[in-house]
Amino acid sequence: MLQTIRIEEKILGKNEELALRNRQRFDSSGIFAITLSGSPGGGKTSLLECAIPKLQLFLRVGVVEGDIETDQDGRRIAALGCPVTQIVTAGTCHLDAGMVGRALNEMPMDDLDLLFIENVGNLVCPASYSLGEHALVVVISTTEGEDKPLKYPAMFRKADAMVLNKLDLSPYVNVDPAAVEAYARRVRPGLPSFRTSCITWLGIEEWVAWILELRHAWMLEKKHP
């Protein structure tokens, strides 16, 4: 009783040049850039609220916030005392490299060491648009179920790490964190992953340490390419 129809893949393109331009701007300003992508309500902004004060002990941190409507997230991040540019996409379902480039014009590029780009809440479309970031972190929450890496593989395939958030809720949902991780690694073998909670602060230190290490490795690589 189950029929299956496959729709042919569409070819996406030409965002890459602007992404490369963003990357060059990051590199020439000594900014390590990390994009966070994931479903609506997965906790991307909350994770930044947890991590940024710890990162600010070592680094000057800025944020580009993407939202379809409202600057609520931008205001939450600005309260941490770091420069924020809020992109309101007015309906568009993802950030693209051109939007981020315009946002960078508003940022104090010479006074930053680390930039987070928080994408629109969408586990699908943002996977197709590189923004020029050095690392992509996919944020997923335990409440979304175990099977999301298999059902939305593009984002996981492209990601440099997975943050599995809302671990505090895993006792109440029938979700085994190890199963989510196993599915993610089936899609992307070796994917580093972090189990976090913005309520209990589980895993925040580990994620922050990973960010600092990643940036450190990038700095060394720049000096001794």
Contact between 4 and a second copy by CB under 8 A: the answer reads yes
Contact between 14 and a second copy by CB under 8 A: the answer reads no
Nearest Cα to Cα of residue 126 among 90, 88, 152? 152
Contact between 49 and a second copy by CB under 8 A: the answer reads no
Q: Single out the segment in contact with a second copy by CB under 8 A; choices: 18-26, 80-88, 200-208, 215-223.
A: 80-88
Question: What CA–CA distance (Å, rounded) separates 31 from 25?
Answer: 8
Nearest Cα to Cα of residue 41 among 169, 161, 131? 169
Residue 155 corresponds to which tokens in the numbers above? 């984002």
Measure CA of the first residue to CA of the last residue in the chain; give whole Å. 58
Contact between 9 and a second copy by CB under 8 A: the answer reads yes
| DSSP state letters, 85-120 | EEEE-TT-SS--HHHHHHHHTTS-GGG-SEEEEEEE
Q: Single out the segment in contact with a second copy by CB under 8 A; choices: 23-31, 101-109, 188-196, 213-221.
A: 101-109
Question: What x/- string results for residues 102 through 131 when contact with a second copy is judged by CB under 8 A?
Answer: xx--x-------------xxxxxx--x---
Contact between 88 and a second copy by CB under 8 A: the answer reads yes
Q: How far is the CB of 119 from a second copy (least distance, A)?
A: 11
Q: How far is the CB of 135 from a second copy (least distance, A)?
A: 22
* 22, 35, 37, 39: which one binds a second copy (CB under 8 A): 39
Q: How far is CA 122 from CA 15, 82, 127, 176, 208, in A?
A: 18, 25, 9, 23, 23
In contact, 142 and 62? CB cutoff 8 Å: no
Q: How many residues does the chain have?
A: 225
Contact between 135 and a second copy by CB under 8 A: the answer reads no
Based on CB atoms, which residue is closest to a second copy, 148 or 217?
148
Contact between 85 and a second copy by CB under 8 A: the answer reads yes
Residue 161 corresponds to which tokens in the numbers above? 């790490």
* 116, 152, 194, 207: which one binds a second copy (CB under 8 A): 152
Q: How many residues bind a second copy (CB under 8 A)?
A: 62
Unique residue bearing structure tokens 């991780």: 181
Q: Which positions touch a second copy (CB under 8 A)? A: 1-10, 39-41, 67-72, 74-75, 78, 81-93, 99, 102-103, 106, 120-125, 128, 141, 143-145, 147-148, 150-154, 166, 168-169, 172-173
